[in-house]
Structure 1
Amino acid sequence: MNDEMNSMSSNDVWDLVELPKGAKAIGCKWIFKTKKDSLGNIEIYKAGLVAKGFTQKEGIDYKETFSPVSKKDSLRIILALVAHFDFELQQMDVKTAFLNGQLEEEVYMKQPEGFSSIGNENLVCKLKKSIYGLKQASRQSGI
């Protein structure tokens, strides 16, 4: 959980602000996963913070939800070019891909359980970047 909060902090995901009149803050929750190796041995424990996007209201908290995706044909063309020109193909994973998407809407979220800012428990997080769980998260991710 500390790693996730450090990642949120280093990516400048939100600012703590007072909730404006008429605005509603969506909730958030922690999700936990156990990653195992090929033999079934526990390799790592992971924690992630997700927004309760199911409480968002269309036209207020988000406008569009579709996300751009690639077609199989595009991948086939790339693979054909790699094979034809004998290029080297590499794969990568962006651990914090969703935290790169800038939000266009004003979305307020309650502070994560167990990580309320001391002395500022009444403040909410004004999201600047997309996080998992938001309706527009995959659209805003920038990947």
Structure 2
Amino acid sequence: MKSEMDSMYANQVWTLVDPPEGIVPIGNKWVFKRKKGSDGKVETYKARLVAKGYRQREGIDYEETFSPVAMIKSIRILLAIVAYYDYEIWQMDVKMAFLNGHL
């Protein structure tokens, strides 16, 4: 939990403000997971602070939704290029990811 909170502060995820009169802020909750290895033993514990988005109302709390995902066609094209030119490919595990984050 400390790592998650430190990351949010470092990436300036939010600015704390007083809510307008008559507005109830959307709540949040902690989600905990155990990540297991191939042998079935617990390797790491993860904690995420998530918004209770189910309380949002379209047109009031948000106008549109967007979820960036990689298309499988794009991944296959990149893998084909890697195989053709005999390039090396590396896997990277991203611990924290933020939309509009500084790279």
Partner of residue 92, structure 2: 92
- Which amino acid counterpart does residue 45 of structure 1 have in structure 2? Y
Partner of residue 17, structure 1: 17
> Structure 1 length as normaliser, TM-score?
0.61
Partner of residue 72, structure 2: 72
- Which amino acid counterpart does residue 52 of structure 2 have in structure 1? K
Q: Tell me, in whole angstroms, the C-alpha distance in 2 between the residues paired with 1:40 and 1:73.
A: 32
Q: Tell me, in whole angstroms, the C-alpha distance in 2 between the residues paired with 1:65 and 1:38.
A: 35
Give yes or no for the alignment of 1:101 onto 2:89: no
Gaps spanning 5+ residues in structure 1: where?
A: 103-143
| Pairs within 5 Å for 1:27-106 | 27-97=27-97, 99-101=98-100
Encode CA deviations 1:93-115: one digit per residue, 9 max, x unaligned: 32221x2337xxxxxxxxxxxxx
Q: Tell me, in whole angstroms, the C-alpha distance in 1 between the residues paired with 2:68 and 2:44.
A: 31
Aligned length: 101
**Secondary structure of 1:17's aligned partner:** coil
Runs of at least 4 residues off by over 3 Å: none
In the superposition, relative to structure 1, how do residues 86 and 92 fare at CA in structure 2: closer, same or farther (>3 Å)?
same
- Which amino acid counterpart does residue 95 of structure 1 have in structure 2? K
Return the structure number with greater strand share: 1
RMSD over equivalenced CA pairs, Å = 2.0
In the superposition, relative to structure 1, how do residues 9 and 22 fare at CA in structure 2: closer, same or farther (>3 Å)?
same
Encode CA deviations 1:63-109: one digit per residue, 9 max, x unaligned: 22243433322222211111111212222232221x2337xxxxxxx
Gaps spanning 5+ residues in structure 2: where?
A: none
In the superposition, relative to structure 1, how do residues 89 and 67 fare at CA in structure 2: closer, same or farther (>3 Å)?
same
**Secondary structure of 1:75's aligned partner:** helix
Q: Tell me, in whole angstroms, the C-alpha distance in 2 between the residues paired with 1:8 and 1:20.
A: 23
Partner of residue 127, structure 1: none
Partner of residue 114, structure 1: none
Query: Could you say which structure has the greater relative contact order, defined with CA pairs below 8 angstroms and 6 or more residues apart?
Result: 1
